[in-house]
A and B are shown apart, each in its own frame.
Chain A
Amino acid sequence: MTTWPESQGTSTSLETVDMTINVGPQHPATHGVFRMVLTVDGELVKDCEPYIGYLHRGLEKLTENADYRQAMGWWDRTDYLAGMCCEGAYVMAVEKLAGIEVPERAEYIRVLMMELSRINSHFMFLGAFGADVGSFGTSFTYGWRERERIYDLFEEVAGDRMFPTYFKVGGVTMDLPENFETRCRDILSSIRQGLEDFDGLLTGNEVFVERCRDLNPVTPEQAIAWGFTGPMLRATGLGWDIRKAEPYSIYERLNFDIPTGKQGDVFDRYWVRLSEMYQSARIVEQCLDEMPSGRVLNPDLPKTLRIDEGELYLPTEGTKGEYGVYLMAQGGTNAYRAKLRSPSFSNLSALRELVVGNYVADAIVILGSLDIVLGEVDK
């Protein structure tokens, strides 16, 4: 028969022991192959150790070993929710490095596509974040309904849905199909209706709002020190958007506002993204109104693209924040060095500081509010 030692058997005070919980890499709440190890004291998170790299595909090495044009296909697999934004950043960097001009019409098409991608990516956020907070499948189906329409349009234009490889050094691969404008305007009104639906489903839901408001506020100083950009930074009240601050392509000519939050809490992060989508829809509409006719591809492109010595870092406003491309050329047909500055990577690096001291259930909501995409974090 087992006999218990005196010291343990007679203890009357209740002691808790820290527990370690592994979340991921295969877990629906981590939005991809992301793993974090939480140390919890009851329900409180005492420590958090993030692990990334499960989706590392060596984007930079592959780019350095492929022709400038061929390498494009790897880049829309970084932020795979908004492939066109990534293509845009990479293509603009190559063009600027090589001094290649882009026809006016192609610029309009690109901005239109990039903003549709942004809407697409933010719908994914709304759907998944709603599910994180507890609306289960409803927000997902609302988000997917609109995403499906946008993807159908992408397929019609470029021949592919998620990885269109539609942009090309010097323009875009082909002109828009004939019925494009009508279809796009239809989709815009459907997007606006979808946003109203989300507004009602989430913002109009007291449980959702109470859950998110005042949770995990971040000051602008903290956000800057942690390298936050995009909606995460704007939620703190700092209205910094690269499309306005360091405008590229034709963004200078377009009218749109930069929505900002007040205190950088989880609700503000949600609210900024929702408001941004209305602005993106405005941009798409202006592009349709002002779209000039003409070529969509520069006719004077060299058969083989060789770039002399040079380097540049080109920041663009990706869907998650500053999506920057660094390229170094040393002659020849390949980049000597290509580097992606991915917004999710920097935003995620502060995860420990964000979740420690919160409840486990809130840690999941905070992670969801970062809106990470692992293809971009891991490269």
Chain B
Amino acid sequence: MSTKTSPDSGNIKTAELIRTQLPNIPFEISETKTYADLKIEPENFLSLVDGLNKNDALSFDLLRNIVAIDMGEAGLWAKYHFYSFVHGHGIQVTVPAKSTDLTIPSITKTYPTANWHEREAAEMVGLKFQGHPDPRNLLLEEDLDIHPLRKAHPLQKPEILQGIEDGPPGVEQ
């Protein structure tokens, strides 16, 4: 039997390295089944991203992916996956936006590839990326103001195209 499905949990070291390199930025470290996770409030997010990108010991140059999640009462969370070609390490960053303020700063200035990822995240769950250069719908119809990946959004209802109003995150309709 083979158990090898890398990458392995040695990734927690990467998180500790970030802690020592960027001591002034407050974040919580936790583990996932692959990369370590840093949880950081939206207001500190830009300074963390700046550090991750510019610090020579970290140099996270690739933004792989952005996941937006409807966490119910905890609001909408965005998860970012970064990778460094120089050092060969990866990290996940979680940015929780409270349901009272669904805004997260856009990182398109540092990572141009974030453009489409943020547009997709915005339309799918209704996050707002402050400072995004082109905040239109990407995969959905341009004038459609629905957020299909909210948990409240029903699956397979013909009324969707006639415009169901989305409720707050996590509320069953």
Interface residues of chain A, those whose CB is within 8 Å of chain B, are: 52-53, 56, 58, 60-62, 64-65, 92, 95-97, 101-104, 107, 224-227, 229, 238, 240, 245-250, 252, 298, 310-315, 322, 324, 326, 328, 336-337, 339, 341, 345-346, 349-350, 378-379
A310-B33, A313-B32 known; A246+B6 contact, CB < 8 A: yes
Please encode chain B, from 89 to 118, with 1 for each CB lying within 8 Å of some chain A CB and 0 for all others.
010100000000000000000011101110
Complex formed: what's the CA distance from A349 to B138 in Å?
11
B64 CB-CB contact with A under 8 Å: yes
Of the A-B pairs whose beta carbons lie under 8 Å apart in the complex, a sample of 25, sorted by A's number, is A52-B139, A62-B155, A96-B34, A225-B112, A226-B112, A227-B113, A240-B85, A246-B90, A248-B6, A311-B32, A311-B37, A312-B35, A313-B64, A313-B81, A315-B64, A322-B64, A324-B64, A324-B65, A326-B79, A328-B69, A339-B65, A339-B67, A349-B113, A349-B116, A379-B139
Complex formed: what's the CA distance from A346 to B112 in Å?
10
Closest to B67 in A: A339
A56-B139, A104-B1 known; A313+B6 contact, CB < 8 A: no
Contact across chains for B81 and A245 when beta carbons are under 8 A apart: no
| One of B5, B113, B149 near A226 (C-beta < 8 A) | B113
Complex formed: what's the CA distance from A60 to B70 in Å?
13
B148 CB-CB contact with A under 8 Å: yes
Q: Which 7 A-B pairs have the closest CB atoms?
A: A227-B113, A312-B33, A341-B65, A53-B139, A349-B116, A339-B67, A101-B1
Contact across chains for B155 and A65 when beta carbons are under 8 A apart: yes
A56 partner residues in chain B, CB cutoff 8 A:
139-140
B3 CB-CB contact with A under 8 Å: yes
Interface range on chain B: under 10, 10 to 19, 20 to 34, or 35 or more? 35 or more
Contact across chains for B149 and A60 when beta carbons are under 8 A apart: yes
Contact across chains for A224 and B62 when beta carbons are under 8 A apart: yes
Q: How far is the CB of B105 from chain A (nearest CB, A)?
A: 19
B67 partner residues in chain A, CB cutoff 8 A:
313, 326, 337, 339
Contact across chains for A249 and B4 when beta carbons are under 8 A apart: yes
Complex formed: what's the CA distance from A345 to B121 in Å?
13
B115 partner residues in chain A, CB cutoff 8 A:
349
B15 partner residues in chain A, CB cutoff 8 A:
none
A246-B6, A250-B2 known; A52+B85 contact, CB < 8 A: no
Complex formed: what's the CA distance from A97 to B5 in Å?
10
Contact across chains for A337 and B69 when beta carbons are under 8 A apart: yes
Complex formed: what's the CA distance from A104 to B124 in Å?
39
A379 partner residues in chain B, CB cutoff 8 A:
139
A226-B112, A226-B113, A313-B35 known; A341+B64 contact, CB < 8 A: yes
B12 CB-CB contact with A under 8 Å: no
Closest to A377 in B: B139
A311 partner residues in chain B, CB cutoff 8 A:
32-33, 37
B61 CB-CB contact with A under 8 Å: yes
Using A312-B32, A341-B65 as known contacts, list a sample of 10 further A-B pairs with CB atoms less than 8 Å apart, ordered by residue number in A: A101-B2, A103-B2, A107-B2, A227-B111, A227-B112, A246-B6, A311-B33, A313-B64, A326-B67, A326-B81
Closest to B80 in A: A313
B163 CB-CB contact with A under 8 Å: no
Closest to B30 in A: A311
Q: How far is the CB of A26 from chain B (nearest CB, A)?
A: 18
Q: How far is the CB of B95 from chain A (nearest CB, A)?
A: 15
B38 CB-CB contact with A under 8 Å: no
| One of A62, A107, A312, A345 near B34 (C-beta < 8 A) | A312
